[in-house]
């Protein structure tokens, strides 16, 4: 009986992976990831400027700016972020000196990236009805605000646990495990936010959580692989110098967007299979 159940579960998992992959192929997910990668280069400075502006709203969050930058350099794009991120932060600081028209242009650039991402999500979900402009702006603003706030809260808890460990205070096993999974939890929260808010459809918490978990595992594996190939990147930098950080960062960004869009495809597929007996509205 256990063997039969195992075979059935394996077949169901294979069937799910196949459906997700076919959905991703039909919607040209790899091309969409490449488009979002290029759009991210244009929108990186505006988004960082907006995030820093939100983190400066309160003194408690303002103190987290350096911790935020340190976290990004440590956990995102291993092998290149320590070169690329400082430049982006410097550009962001210079952006504060722009006139009003320039600031509006920066915000518009960030909104274009979010609009492009939303279009990809709606296409993957096969949703034809579009949101009204007001609803889009509210969704974009929620992503730009909730993302940094969730990250700030997570980093605050992370820093509190770290301070206890440095003081030699013994923590419960649950908190110790949470400390070890700190970066994974942050990946999960960010993926859950965009997977829950972006689709213009009824979204279930349980299915979205499952998709965010898979996506967070994928990004964690990606960062582990990049970290393990640090020596390869070092050899690459011998030839290209500081410029080597840019192509490495682009490769990481491309794969990151691919994983994000695959998690969106998984989320859409799970909702489709869950609603199939009742309705076919996602087709």
Per-residue pLDDT of the chain in tens (283 residues, 90 and over written 9): 666 677 777 888 888 889 999 999 999 999 999 999 888 877 776 777 777 666 666 565 555 666 666 666 666 665 555 666 666 666 666 666 667 666 677 777 778 888 888 889 999 999 888 888 888 888 787 777 766 666 666 655 655 555 555 555 555 665 555 555 666 777 888 899 889 988 988 899 999 999 999 999 998 888 888 777 655 655 555 555 556 667 777 888 899 999 999 999 999 999 988 876 544 444 4
Q: What is the pLDDT of residue 265?
A: 95
Spatial neighbors of 281 by CB under 8 A, at least 6 apart, are 201, 275
Query: How far is 54 from 203, CA to CA, in rounded Å?
Result: 27
What confidence score (pLDDT) does residue 84 get?
A: 64
Residues 84 and 245 sit within 8 Å (Cβ to Cβ): yes
Tokens 């206890």 sit at which residue? 164
**Burial degree of 254 (CB within 10 A; 0-12, 13-18, 19+):** middle
Q: What is the pLDDT of residue 10?
A: 83
Looking at residue 29, its pLDDT comes to: 93
Provide the angle, in degrees to the nearest 10, between the axes of the packed helices 100-125 and 81-95: 130
Helical (H) or strand (E) element with 88: helix 81-95
Please calculate the CA angle 276-217-247 and round it to the nearest 5 degrees: 115
Contacts of 13 (CB under 8 A, 6+ apart): none
pTM of the model: 0.78
Helix/strand number for the chain, H first, E second: 12, 0
Rounded CA separation 81/237 (Å): 13
98 CB neighbour count, 10 Å cutoff: 13
Would you tell me the crossing angle of helices 245-275 and 81-95 to the nearest 10 degrees?
Answer: 90
């Amino acid at each position: 009986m256990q063997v039969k159940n195992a075979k059935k579960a394996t077949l169901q998992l294979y069937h799910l992976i196949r459906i997700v992959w076919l959905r991703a192929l039909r919607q040209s997910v790899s091309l969409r990831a490449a488009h979002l990668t290029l759009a991210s280069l244009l929108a990186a400075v505006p988004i960082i400027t907006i995030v820093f502006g939100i983190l400066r709203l309160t003194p408690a969050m303002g103190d987290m700016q350096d911790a935020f930058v340190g976290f990004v350099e440590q956990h995102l794009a291993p092998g290149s972020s320590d070169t690329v991120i400082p430049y982006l932060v410097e550009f962001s600081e210079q952006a504060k000196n722009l006139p009003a028209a320039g600031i509006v242009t920066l915000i518009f650039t960030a909104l274009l990236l979010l609009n492009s991402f939303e279009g990809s999500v709606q296409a993957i979900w096969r949703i034809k009805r579009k949101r009204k402009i007001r609803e889009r702006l509210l969704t974009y603003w929620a992503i730009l605000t909730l993302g940094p706030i969730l990250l700030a809260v997570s980093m605050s808890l992370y820093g509190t646990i770290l301070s206890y460990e440095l003081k030699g205070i013994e923590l419960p096993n649950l908190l110790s495990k949470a400390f070890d999974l700190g970066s994974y939890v942050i990946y999960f929260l960010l993926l859950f936010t965009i997977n829950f808010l972006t689709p213009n459809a009824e979204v279930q918490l349980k299915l979205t959580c499952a998709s965010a978990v898979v996506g967070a595992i994928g990004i964690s594996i990606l960062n582990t692989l990049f970290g393990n190939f640090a020596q390869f990147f070092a050899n690459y930098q011998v030839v290209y110098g500081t410029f080597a950080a840019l192509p490495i960062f682009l490769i990481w960004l491309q794969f990151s967007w691919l994983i994000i869009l695959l998690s969106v495809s998984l989320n859409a597929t799970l909702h489709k299979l869950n609603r199939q007996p009742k309705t076919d509205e996602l087709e």
